[in-house]
Chains A and B, each alone.
Chain A
Amino acid sequence: MSLQLEIVTPQQKFIEEDSVDSVTLPGTEGELGILPEHIPLLTSLASGVLSYQSGNERKALAIHGGYAQVENNRVTVLAELAERAEDIDVSRAQDAEKRALKTLSGKFGSDETEQQRLEKHEAKLKRALVRQTATRI
């Protein structure tokens, strides 16, 4: 028994694998491990690392937001943005992390635009951290 995995982004079809043994998804409610014969599932995804095992190989991707659907041993991931671990520039992610931390250590007002700015930078920090984690798997 194996799973089919398909990852698509608004720009392109990203990955299509016919037989993977397990998939780990970064759901908004926590990490989800998918094995063959999983019940049908629809979940929203957070910014995080998606990894999958096929044979002895373990591959990782950084995923930022979207949805995943599991049905009939088929995992479909609709990601807003996806990056393969090998395509990620680690030093750039580290720089981005430092920049985001620096901005976040500053002051933020309580009005709406300031809160939006805070959220934006928190999201940037999260993405930078996810990218670094993805390269370590």
Chain B
Amino acid sequence: MANLKEIRKRIDSVKTTQKTTSAMKMVSAAKLRRAQDNYEQATPYSNKLKRVVSLLSSNFSAEDHPLFAQREKARVAVILITSDRGLCGGFNSNLCKALMAELDQNKIDHAQFTTLGRKGQEFFKRTNHKILENYTGIPVTEHRDTVQKVVQEHINKFEHNEIDRVYLAYANFISVLTQEPTIETLLPIEPSSSEEESLDDREILFEPPAEQILDTLLKKYAENRVAVAWLNSIAGEHGARMTAMDSATKNASELIEKLQLYYNRSRQAAITGELIEIISGAESL
């Protein structure tokens, strides 16, 4: 039987851990609210932009712009968005595993990675894939510059025929409990078959001509998709951490309860043992 002091120590240590996890849960809950707000504020713009792109690209066919060019998926680049910190359950590993499975399925074994977030880099540096660049610890205020830089680099490479396809991988925030690994094609941009019918059947007037708008608009669209995915991923990270810390706190409570019971039993057993010793000592006199 473990000695009483040891059990006491164990209980104290679990209690300290519980304090940490419950504090982390509270912090994540506060951060989640802000992150979710940021994401929701950004969605109207993103939806409108998508609509404008689909309106515009329905006037064009795949040959009209280099960013529409569909090629064999030989050389692939991936922009992977993960969190910088751990302790958020399967948030990062689920995404990385899903991405790995997807790449294996398409028989891509030397993709070029650009990772936004430390965890993605840590996972893929152990594989055959090559990590070109890693961005860690970028505050939200600097997202815009980073995204512009990363997207511009990929667009240049794509237009110069150095890569054939760019994937965007991130964990999509569905609810606090669920984040779904999402892998989308960022480039080439698929000219959407305007599923949304125009409300007005008169011909659209473009100023400047559509060709000129198209170029900057497509770039903006790609940037916006990455930026929104990033905001989405941050919200997901906090959601996942909150859930993970919540269950950690619960587990700690259970463990403390069990240890406490064990401690009490041991203590009683020790007292009974001592009593028996005293009584049998007295009897023998």
The interface residues of chain B, by DSSP majority, are classed as: helix
Q: Does A11 contact B (CB under 8 A)?
A: yes
Q: Does B283 contact A (CB under 8 A)?
A: no
Residue from B203, B208, B216 in contact with A29 in the complex, judged by beta carbons closer than 8 Å: B208
Taking a contact as CB atoms under 8 Å apart, the answer to whether B41 and A40 are in contact is no
Taking a contact as CB atoms under 8 Å apart, the answer to whether B217 and A13 are in contact is no
> Which A residues, 5 to 52, have Cβ-Cβ distances below 8 Å to chain B?
6, 8-13, 27-29, 32, 39-44
Given A10-B224, A13-B41, A71-B199, are A41 and B52 neighbors across the interface (CB < 8 Å)? no
Contact pattern, A 76-115, Cβ under 8 Å of B = 1, otherwise 0: 1010000000000000000000000000000000000000
Taking a contact as CB atoms under 8 Å apart, the answer to whether A10 and B200 are in contact is no
Given A69-B52, A69-B55, A78-B52, are A40 and B45 neighbors across the interface (CB < 8 Å)? no
Query: Which residues of chain B have C-beta atoms less than 8 A from A44's C-beta?
Result: 207-208, 212-213, 216-217
Most B CB contacts (10 A, CB to CB) among A10, A11, A42, A78 go to A10
Q: Does B67 contact A (CB under 8 A)?
A: no
Contact pattern, B 190-220, Cβ under 8 Å of A = 1, otherwise 0: 0000000011101111111010110011000
Query: Which residues of chain B have C-beta atoms less than 8 A from A8's C-beta?
Result: 44-45, 48
Query: Which residues of chain B have C-beta atoms less than 8 A from A40's C-beta?
Result: 198, 200, 202-205
> Which B residues, 82 to 120, have Cβ-Cβ distances below 8 Å to chain A?
none
Q: Does A72 contact B (CB under 8 A)?
A: yes
Taking a contact as CB atoms under 8 Å apart, the answer to whether A78 and B49 are in contact is yes
Given A11-B41, A67-B217, A72-B200, are A32 and B55 neighbors across the interface (CB < 8 Å)? no
Contact residue range for chain B? 20 to 34
Query: Which residues of chain A have C-beta atoms less than 8 A from B203's C-beta?
Result: 39-40
Given A9-B45, A10-B224, A78-B52, are A42 and B200 neighbors across the interface (CB < 8 Å)? no
> Which B residues, 45 to 60, have Cβ-Cβ distances below 8 Å to chain A?
45-46, 48-49, 51-52, 55-56
Query: Which residues of chain A have C-beta atoms less than 8 A from B52's C-beta?
Result: 42, 67, 69, 76, 78
**When chains A and B are docked, how far (Å) is the Cα of A13 from the Cα of B46?**
11
Query: Which residues of chain A have C-beta atoms less than 8 A from B207's C-beta?
Result: 27-29, 32, 41-44
Q: Does B150 contact A (CB under 8 A)?
A: no
Taking a contact as CB atoms under 8 Å apart, the answer to whether B56 and A11 are in contact is no
Taking the closest CB of chain B, its distance from the CB of A123, in whole angstroms, is: 15
Taking the closest CB of chain A, its distance from the CB of B49, in whole angstroms, is: 6
**When chains A and B are docked, how far (Å) is the Cα of A69 from the Cα of B144?**
24
**8 CB-based A-B contacts, threshold 8 Å:** A12-B41, A13-B45, A27-B207, A44-B207, A67-B213, A67-B217, A71-B198, A71-B199
Which residues of B are interface residues toward A (Cβ below 8 A)? 41-42, 44-46, 48-49, 51-52, 55-56, 144, 198-200, 202-208, 210, 212-213, 216-217, 224, 227
Which residues of A are interface residues toward B (Cβ below 8 A)? 6, 8-13, 27-29, 32, 39-44, 67, 69, 71-72, 74, 76, 78
Known: A10-B42, A39-B205, A72-B200. 19 other contacts (CB 8 A): A10-B45, A10-B46, A10-B227, A11-B42, A12-B44, A29-B207, A29-B208, A32-B207, A41-B204, A41-B206, A42-B204, A42-B205, A43-B206, A44-B207, A67-B213, A67-B217, A69-B48, A71-B199, A78-B49
